[in-house]
Amino acid sequence: MGVIVGPRVIDAGASLFSVLISPVAVAAGFPSPAQDYFDGRIDLNAHLIKDITSTFVVRVTGNSMEGAGISDGDELIVNRALEPKDGSVVIAVLDGELTVKRLRITAAGIVLQAENPRYQDIKVSALSDLTIWGVATRCLHHV
């Protein structure tokens, strides 16, 4: 015990490459490498969390996303590392609050869409005007 392992250093160029593929690719849905070694029961963590550094769980309050199967009191699994795309269910910062909406990126502009006709959509002039906190990947719906 106590022997110092000297620094092995990673070439910056190589690191950059692995950076480019690693978090993004993993997040995009490659099976976790841990599954190859896994021989036991189904592991919900491995199934639901692709990147444990960037994945958070939040609780929904309100009914504006019911059309997307997201109800009041449900939990959402949110990955902050994902790139928000057209159609993503996102957690956006609106007036200092975290708000869940469907992101629409179209030629006509950027819209934060509710999934309930009783709620209004919010138009945004540019993506840069918008702070996206994270992208929801799963809904833990209470049945």
Partner 1 sequence: MRTAVAKPALMRSMPQIAHVDVNCFYASAERAFDPSLEGRPLVVLSNNDGCAVTRSPEAKALGIATGEPWFKLAPRAKEWGLVAKSSNYELYGDISARFMELLGRYSAWLEVYSIDEAFLGVKGEADQLLPLGRTIRDAVRRNVGVPVCVGIAPTKTLAKLCNKWAKNNPAFGGVCLWEAVPGDVRDSLLERLPVDEIWGIAGRLTKRLNVLGIFTVGDLVRADPVMIRDKFSVVLMRTVLELRGTPCIPMEEERIGRDQLIFSRSFATPVTSADGLRQVLSIYGQQASARLSKHGLQAKVLTAFAATSPFRQQEQAYPSVCVSLPMPTADPLLLARAAHALLPHIRDGLKYAKAGIMLTDLRPSGNQPPLEPFENPHEERGIGPLLEDVSRRFGRGAIGLGHAGIKSGLDWTMKRDMRSPRYTTHWDELPVVKAA
Residues in 5-44 that interact with partner 1 by CB under 8 A:
5, 7-13, 15-16, 18-19, 22-23, 33-34, 37
- Residue 36 CA to its chain's centroid (Å): 24
33 Cβ contact list (under 8 Å, min separation 6): none
> Rounded to whole angstroms, how far apart are CA atoms 128 and 111?
13
Closer to partner 1 by CB, 107 or 117: give it: 117
Query: Applying CB under 8 A, what is the total number of residues that bind partner 1?
Result: 52
At 47, the amino acid letter reads H
Reading the block at residue 15, the tokens are 């690191």
> Rounded to whole angstroms, how far apart are CA atoms 99 and 108?
22
How far is residue 73 from each of residues 9, 63, 103, 137, 140, measured CA to CA in Å? Answer: 47, 9, 21, 17, 9
Q: Does 128 bind partner 1 (CB under 8 A)?
A: no
Catalytic residue chosen out of the listed positions 32, 101, 123, 128:
101
Binding string, residues 52-91; x marks residues near partner 1 by CB under 8 A = xxx-xxxxxxxxxx----x-x--xx---xx---------x
* Contact footprint for partner 1 (CB under 8 A): 1-5, 7-13, 15-16, 18-19, 22-23, 33-34, 37, 51-54, 56-65, 70, 72, 75-76, 80-81, 91, 93, 96-100, 114, 119, 131, 133
Residues labelled catalytic: 64, 101
